């Protein structure tokens, strides 16, 4: 059941609000208090995560010699071959493989595939391109040695990311294509950040103004995260930060873009899917009605999460047909 209050707030499930608020940064200055947010998220993750552990902790050596932690989640039963390489969200600033434990275990069980979560370095201690370099390095290593994670071929590997993690997945695919390197077989982008302008007064995307205040994620928070990730304003417009700005989106892996109806990032995510199609790259674009930003962290019984995994599993089985036609801005 949903409701609309007298302030004009869009209808949002009370349960969705309650659960997602656990992973939302409080309405504080994220640039000043990001460390507090990290501590709260980790404490909550220890409370929420329960049950047997089916994980393996490994590491990939970065090009500068540092270790990049990779946590491998094994499904209860293997439904389909291949593996998912997951980049978590959190604005490039918060989140890690510990706070996403429950989410990754759910992903492994509901897809029936191995999930490899990458613990990339976070801003502002490690600004762009540190986190991106980690994600690219791990992806290249796994594509070169797919059997390490139970995949037979590079084509059996799918990149998955949510929010900032989806941005990283999209950019990794772009960079691999630019280098004429081996590509994953597919990518799944959940409510991705694809462009730099999240000012409601200047953004070309209506969802920024419609849903940029009072919900799971605000426009101001996205702007703050981007400042911490890439301090140079001019460089936020380059494709390695804003993949929608890329001149050439051809040759990209088969892509599923899933957006949330009540999310300020909705329109730019769908725009990225259309841009891929226009460049000749296969893309399926789906929007989940009534969903807020961050729905991938919801519990398994959530209607929104159930719908998301229906779409993901269809895509993993090869279905590229949109379930409906979305309006084109």
Catalytic site positions: 163, 263, 293
Q: Do 208 and 226 form a contact (C-beta atoms < 8 A)?
A: no
Here the tokens at position 238 are 């380059």
Q: Cβ contacts of residue 45 below 8 Å, gap of 6+?
A: 98, 99, 100, 101, 102
Separation between Cα atoms, residue 316 and residue 157, nearest integer Å: 10
Structural Rg of the chain based on CA atoms: 18
Separation between Cα atoms, residue 123 and residue 323, nearest integer Å: 37
Q: Do 148 and 114 form a contact (C-beta atoms < 8 A)?
A: no
Taking CA atoms, 73 is separated from 45, 94, 117, in Å, by: 16, 21, 8
3-state SS class at 287 = strand
Residue showing tokens 């208090």: 33
Instruction: Identify the CA nearest to 102 among candidates 25, 166, 44.
Output: 44
Q: Residue 116: beta bridge partners?
A: 72, 85
């Amino acid at each position: 059941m949903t409701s609309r209050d007298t302030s004009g707030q869009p209808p949002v499930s009370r349960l969705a609000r309650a659960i997602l608020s656990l992973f939302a940064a409080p309405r504080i200055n994220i640039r000043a208090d990001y460390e507090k947010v990290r501590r709260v998220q980790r404490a909550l993750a220890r409370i929420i995560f329960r049950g047997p552990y089916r994980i393996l902790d490994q590491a990939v050596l970065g090009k500068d010699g540092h270790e990049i932690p990779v946590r491998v989640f094994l499904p209860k039963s293997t439904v389909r071959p291949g593996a998912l390489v997951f980049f978590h969200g959190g604005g490039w600033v918060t989140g890690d493989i510990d706070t996403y434990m429950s989410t990754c275990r759910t992903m492994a069980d509901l897809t029936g595939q191995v999930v490899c979560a990458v613990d990339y370095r976070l801003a502002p201690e490690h600004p762009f391109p540190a986190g991106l370099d980690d994600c690219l390095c791990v992806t290249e290593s796994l594509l070169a040695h797919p059997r390490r994670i139970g995949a037979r071929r590079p084509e059996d590997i799918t990149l998955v990311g949510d929010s900032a993690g989806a941005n990283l997945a999209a950019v990794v695919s772009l960079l691999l294509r630019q280098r004429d390197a081996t590509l994953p077989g597919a990518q799944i982008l959940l409510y991705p950040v694809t462009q730099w302008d999240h000012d409601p007064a200047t953004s070309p995307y209506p969802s920024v103004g419609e849903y940029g205040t009072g919900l799971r994620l605000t426009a101001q928070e996205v702007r703050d995260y981007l400042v911490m990730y890439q301090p140079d304003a001019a460089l936020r417009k380059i494709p390695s930060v804003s993949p929608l700005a890329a001149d050439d989106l051809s040759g990209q892996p088969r892509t599923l873009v899933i957006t949330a109806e009540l999310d300020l990032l909705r329109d730019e995510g769908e725009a990225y899917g259309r841009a891929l199609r226009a460049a000749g790259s296969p893309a399926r674009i789906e929007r989940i009605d009534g969903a807020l930003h961050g729905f991938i962290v919801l519990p398994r019984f959530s209607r929104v999460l159930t719908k998301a995994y229906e779409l993901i599993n269809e895509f993993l089985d090869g279905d590229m047909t949109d379930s409906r036609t979305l309006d084109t801005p």
